[in-house]
A = this chain, B = another copy of it.
Amino acid sequence: MRTVKKVRPSREGRKSRSVLKCPIDKAVEDLHRKLANDRSGEVATYIPELGRANPDWFGVCVVTADGKTYEAGDTDQSFTIQSISKPFLYGMALEDNGQAAVLEKIWMEPSGEAFNAISLRPGSGQPANPMINAGAIATTSLVSGVTTQQKMRRILDGMGRYAGRPLSIDEAVYRSESETGHRNRAIAYMLRNFNIIESDPMPGLEAYFMQCSLAVTCRDLGVMAATLANQGVNPITKDRAVVREYVESILSVMSSCGMYDGAGEWIYRVGMPAKSGVAGGILAVLPGQLGIGVFSPRLDACGNSVRGVKFCLELSRRFGLHMFNAPRVSASVLRRITHVGEVSSNRCRCSDETDLLKRHGSRVTVVFVQGVVVFASSEVVIRELMKRVHDLDGMILDLQHVQAMDFVTRELLAELALLVVRAGKFMSFSHAEHMPKVTQAFRKKLKDRIQFFGDLDLALEDAENRILARHGWKPATPERIDLAECEIAHGMSRQDVEALKALLRLRLFRSGDVIIQPGEDASEMCVLTRGTASVWLHSEESPKKRVATFTPGMIFGEVALLDRQPRSAQVTADTDVELLSLDAGCFDGLTASHPNLQRLLLRNLSQILARRLRATNRDLGAV
């Protein structure tokens, strides 16, 4: 037996690693240490092999639905899974036969009788549920495969996916199970009699004995439980162990029939679907949150591990794990609700455009959705949009911060979009590309009558263009414009413009060319005279992101001209581009040669900067 290392409390203020013990680790270890003193109960001896267990063995393991493990004690000690395999076998039978065929053979009502009672329903002969022996024997007969070997291949593969490692049979226990399993043979033939098992029941029964004898550790049980908590995907290997739709069936039979004749009390006190085995294991699942595996061989009168039951009970109380202790899920689905008057695309707009958008932007709502979206949270999104839809020209739903969205939500949002479009309004989704399935579902349903954008910026630009178009605005001309029409030449005399032109160098770029590279020391300012160019931010955290688009007449690169710091972003040509660049040396030279021209440049520059600063401050304020 592995002994538990005592962690002595350290002196305050001492900077040691030992003082920095995670409070969750500490709680799990403290509870393990406390319950290790409980020596009540008896090791099962109904087959001789089980009687050889060390009664002091005690391991506990908590695995979160995203795969973090907390454990204490004998978590590497191998033991046989026994009845804990029953819910997993039930899942395999569902996968291999479909739900209707399985329910025809095995019902799902608690029997109120002992685990080894025959409990067949009058008339149909169905075992009452898959958690009693009769039910599990019927389940095993339904698992794919004709021979014992074929069935075991399927079972070992399935169980291995749950555990995240290959599992094997404890041969000694299996032989012991098979040699003493007369009652189970009787049950198997009774099931054959009622045609619940439709062919020779013996190959399936041997597979039943074998899978009861699977060797696992309590860490395996924790991971298997976490796989059920994570909707059937092993959170460590990321392998799917069972199709998602059957997870709720598995957990339902565990919840109503998992703890033998104490199911009501277990749900009342512990509040988690669970299953125990006579070798001393208990597996419990808090759906969406975590799985628990416990192992200690001494059993109570019901055949459940004494320390295992107490560990689950006390952990549930300590951490508030009762499944009906459920806070409102809808509270945080809306990250932010705003409109196009308050949040702008990064396309640089002239002041007339900006004014129009400020006046009419509230006609397009922008809703930021976040988190894991199930019915109760999508309902909040739909409710908010329905409240506003009559007064809107359109809406943007940003899904960037959505981690997962269930099928129901996709359907409901598709319906919402359809009716919004039918009412003559527009609806855009941004960051829909992170969810190809959602997009597909929408596309199919909406027949391209709706817009999908890879990011919010593009969705905003589109919405702005729609608003501007409604108010008679025309997109910028693709023609070359003259320096005199550019913002940097504002208020300059013809002479000043000519003097400035003489200092500028014409540069040509092809669509897609990089004009400015981040990190460069170059500090010239660029006056765009033809085409459009965009500024992109790259960061380690997030994908490449457009932060501005310039149209002819605008300048860029002016910040580096003024502060002489390295470039902070990339600028690329969206189209073929012509620009006039002013380098820092020429600009500085103006102090002596053309102080008045420099003054005018500085005046225009500072006005442009002031306008941009106001806009970015507005964006920041809105965040």
Known: A64-B379, A380-B66. A23 touches B329 (CB 8 A): no
Chain B's closest residue to A68 (CB) is B383
CB distance from A164 to the nearest CB of B (A): 17
CB distance from A57 to the nearest CB of B (A): 27
In the complex, the answer to whether B423 meets A20 with C-beta atoms within 8 Å is: yes
Chain B's closest residue to A383 (CB) is B68
In the assembled complex, the Cα of A12 lies from the Cα of B65 at a distance in Å of 45
In the complex, the answer to whether A263 meets B109 with C-beta atoms within 8 Å is: yes
In the complex, the answer to whether B613 meets A612 with C-beta atoms within 8 Å is: yes
Chain B's closest residue to A251 (CB) is B324
In the complex, the answer to whether A265 meets B108 with C-beta atoms within 8 Å is: yes
CB distance from A406 to the nearest CB of B (A): 5
Chain B's closest residue to A618 (CB) is B568
> Secondary structure of the A side of the interface?
helix
Contact mask for chain A residues 481-518; partner B; CB cutoff 8 A; 1 contact, 0 none: 00000000000000000000000000000000000000
- Residue A230 at the B interface, CB < 8 A? yes
Which of B261, B271, B616 sits near A252, CB closer than 8 Å?
B271
- Residue A15 at the B interface, CB < 8 A? yes
Known: A320-B374, A610-B563. A412 touches B24 (CB 8 A): yes
Which of B110, B229, B273, B389 sits near A263, CB closer than 8 Å?
B110
Contact mask for chain A residues 82-114; partner B; CB cutoff 8 A; 1 contact, 0 none: 000000000000000000000000011111100
Contact mask for chain A residues 365-381; partner B; CB cutoff 8 A; 1 contact, 0 none: 00000111011100110
Known: A68-B379, A424-B15, A619-B620. A568 touches B614 (CB 8 A): yes
- Residue A459 at the B interface, CB < 8 A? no
Chain A stretch 236-261: residues in CB contact (< 8 A) with chain B:
247-249, 251-253, 255-257, 261
CB distance from A554 to the nearest CB of B (A): 15
Chain B's closest residue to A26 (CB) is B415
- Residue A350 at the B interface, CB < 8 A? no
Q: How many residues of A contact B (CB 8 A)?
A: 125
Which of B16, B107, B332 sits near A372, CB closer than 8 Å?
B332
- Residue A390 at the B interface, CB < 8 A? yes
Which of B265, B420, B616, B621 sits near A537, CB closer than 8 Å?
B621
Chain A stretch 301-346: residues in CB contact (< 8 A) with chain B:
318-332
Chain B's closest residue to A233 (CB) is B328
- Residue A147 at the B interface, CB < 8 A? no
In the complex, the answer to whether B602 meets A606 with C-beta atoms within 8 Å is: yes
- Interface hit among A72-80, A203-211, A284-292, A573-581: A284-292
In the assembled complex, the Cα of A605 lies from the Cα of B422 at a distance in Å of 52
CB distance from A71 to the nearest CB of B (A): 14
Chain B residues with CB below 8 A from A616, complex form: 613, 616-617, 620
Instruction: Pick 11 A–B contacts, CB within 8 A, sort by A.
Output: A23-B416, A24-B382, A110-B263, A248-B322, A253-B268, A256-B267, A327-B374, A328-B403, A331-B404, A370-B370, A595-B595
